[in-house]
Amino acid sequence: MNLAPIDWGICLALLAVLIAFAIKTTRYTTSVPAFLSANRSGGRYVVAMAKEMAALSVITLVGLFESGYQIGYVQVWWPLMEGPAMIVIALTGWVIYRFRETRAMTIAQFLEMRYSRNFRVFAGIVAFLSGIINFGIFPAVEARFFMALCHMPETFRVAGLTLATFPVLMLGMLTLSLAFVFLGGLLAIMVTDCIEGIFAFTGFAIIIIWLLAYFGWNRITHTLLAQPAEHSLVHPMHTGGEESFNFWYYVIGVVILFYTWLGWQGAAGYNSAPRNAHEAKMANILAGWRWRVLMLIATIVPICVHVFLEHPDFAPQAAAVNEQLQAVDSEARSSLRAPLMLGAILPAGMLGLTVATMIACFVSTSDTYLHSWGSILIQDVILPFRKRPFTTRQHLLLLRMGILGVAAFVFVFSLFYEPTQYVNMFLALTGAVFVGGAGSAIIGGLYWKRGTTAAAWSAMIAGMTLSAGGIILKQMPPNPALHFVQRFSGQELTFFSILGSIAMYVLVSLLGPQADFNMDRMLHRGKYAIAGEHVVGDSRPPTIMEKLGFTREFSGRDRIITYLTLAWPLIWTAVFIAVMLYNLVHKVPENSWMVYWKWWTLGILAAGIAITIWFSLGSVRDIHRLFRDLRSGAININLADDGRVVDHHSAGDPVEDPAVSAKESIRR
């Protein structure tokens, strides 16, 4: 193992801080809403930072490193097409605003409120199975990453026994993540994930600066310009030789982004954790900054891997790494290039910072995923069959046992997992089993009062069948009879399942019995409004700006933040269009693209540092406010708000006029 005492010190210091904050939340996690939704007490910065870290696992970075190694800087060019979609999502509070208005704690709970209890259970089962299989490879990929980064041996001896490093490391990683979940549920996860985000993004900035200084721009330029024709790592129009991550991969990605914005349930708790719908919308607006900056680390590291393995100045070190790569299965090599390179070049201190940053990434995702999938099992598969509500103690115990069961499953799954394709492709395929069908039911249920239960069933089954069928056929050995399906990527198969699901939802809704669902009641608007759920509200006609998304809930500061947030994708979309048009009539050499990418790298790095400082200050403020409110009792807790649904609304909602409820229940 190549960790020096200073490296161990950095890692242990981070863990000590995280454990201290997790323990601090324990006294406030005495109810189901606290365990599942952090008492709906999250401010915009803490939710944005924590939710971003929940999506930023080590396996996510491994997938980005794989694609970055294949296409280099081109990886960040085509996603600029997402700019218009990101603007619409941010301004409208796409899906997340309305979901938070429902006060549901899981997506499947909302599906029962909107459709039926049977559909909730079905969706819960599909989401759970899809999620744990998707999560099942996380410990395996991440453990191998740490073993390569830290040069861990395959075995070690303890008390005269020889133990395999791989399963022991996975067990330790899962145990650490379980500890945070058990201590304080989503309240502990949200606070610690936010702290991990502050640490990780600071670490990323330092790592990027060090790598750029170590390899030097001249070496980077020399290596990237030496790539084969039609396989450019810098010229977006010269990637015809790359089949996996090409133009259409990113075009489809824009559609998937819009359709699946709230479909994936790996971080489900953060959808209900904000203080109100407006805070959820603002957290959504802010979150875009984090992901755009993240792409810098996901691009610089794999580019530096190219320089390390191909530039003559690093030949002796590269030879040793290549020997290690040849010793593993060919399918696993793509995921090990980056950690082996980092482990070979990073000095003491920098290695510790990198390891600690990766620990922050794996803990933030693992504890969130354990919480999400375990909660979905209990809340959406078991709870609906319960005739009498659990006591709070029973409910919390059952949630913890469900989470423990998820941890046991993914440990066993990872022990036997053998990589057969790019990580991103596997995640896209397994995720599509639920998301491919659920997206239609979620979006239709939140925005279209004509959507029916039959349509939701049809869309879900169509999306699930198409996605599962694609996964099975994709995993089978190459066969001429299956070539039509096997020639498509996981991204393309996801797209087809989405199209099929949308078609079924719309057609069945239009052709079946017609009924208008009471959207105001579900969204707690008008006479169904709950105090504190909306910042302001009146009956004046909306202005043009309000129709565009700048509602009366926006303060002056909110508007400034939103203007800045929208300006970023607008500027880059304009750059994308201008450059693409220029390339249509001029033959732009790769040297010119290298100049562009140099200034892009420096600009994004400067922006990343500024954004990290901004978000860190906002997160500290939100965490202080959170504990202040918890101590003072300012956050109301309703013990009946445990995820049960009665007559298409949450059991924790205020009691309504029975006559009104009876009238509105006559549907289908």
Tell me which CATH code domain 5-418+517-664 carries.
Answer: 1.20.1730
The alpha carbon of residue 110 and the mean position of all alpha carbons in its chain are separated, in whole angstroms, by 20
Interatomic CA distance for residues 590 and 609, integer angstroms:
28
Residue 360 has pLDDT above 90, yes or no: yes
Identify which has the larger pLDDT, 511 or 550: 511
Residue 649 has pLDDT above 80, yes or no: yes
pLDDT tens digit sequence for 564-612: 888 888 888 888 889 888 888 888 888 999 999 999 999 999 999 999 9
The Cβ of residue 600 has, within 10 Å, a number of other Cβ atoms equal to 18
- The pair of structure tokens assigned to 88 is 């619409």
Residue (of 618, 614, 610, 608) closest to 205 by Cα position: 608
613 confidence band (pLDDT: 50, 70, 90): very high
Interatomic CA distance for residues 2 and 636, integer angstroms:
50
55 confidence band (pLDDT: 50, 70, 90): confident
Helix (H, G, I), strand (E, B) or coil at 607: helix
> Which residues, at least 6 apart from 172, have a Cβ–Cβ distance to it below 8 Å?
none
What's the whole-number average pLDDT of the chain?
A: 86
| Range of lowest pLDDT (32-46, 277-291, 348-362) | 277-291
Cα distances (angstroms) measured from residue 55 to each of 59, 135, 193, 264, 291:
10, 12, 10, 11, 10
DSSP string, 118-184: HHHHHHHHHHHHHHHHHHTTHHHHHHHHHHHHTT--SEEEETTEEEEHHHHHHHHHHHHHHHHHHHH
pLDDT number for residue 267 = 86
Residue 425 has pLDDT above 70, yes or no: no
Instruction: Produce one character per residue of 408-421: b if its CB has 16 or more CB atoms within 10 Å, e if not.
Output: eebbebbeebebee
Q: Are 378 and 398 in contact (CB under 8 A)?
A: yes
Helix (H, G, I), strand (E, B) or coil at 649: strand
449 confidence band (pLDDT: 50, 70, 90): very high
Interatomic CA distance for residues 297 and 290, integer angstroms:
12
- The pair of structure tokens assigned to 591 is 């040297």
80 confidence band (pLDDT: 50, 70, 90): confident
Residue (of 548, 68, 109) closest to 302 by Cα position: 68
Question: How much of the chain is in helix, strand and coil states, percent to nearest 5?
Answer: 75, 0, 25
Q: Which residue has the tokens 């002056």?
A: 556
pLDDT tens digit sequence for 475-484: 666 767 666 6
Helix (H, G, I), strand (E, B) or coil at 164: strand
Alpha helices in 277-419 (DSSP H): 277-310, 315-326, 330-345, 350-376, 392-416
Interatomic CA distance for residues 19 and 119, integer angstroms:
39
**What is the pTM assigned to this prediction?**
0.88
Interatomic CA distance for residues 367 and 19, integer angstroms:
13
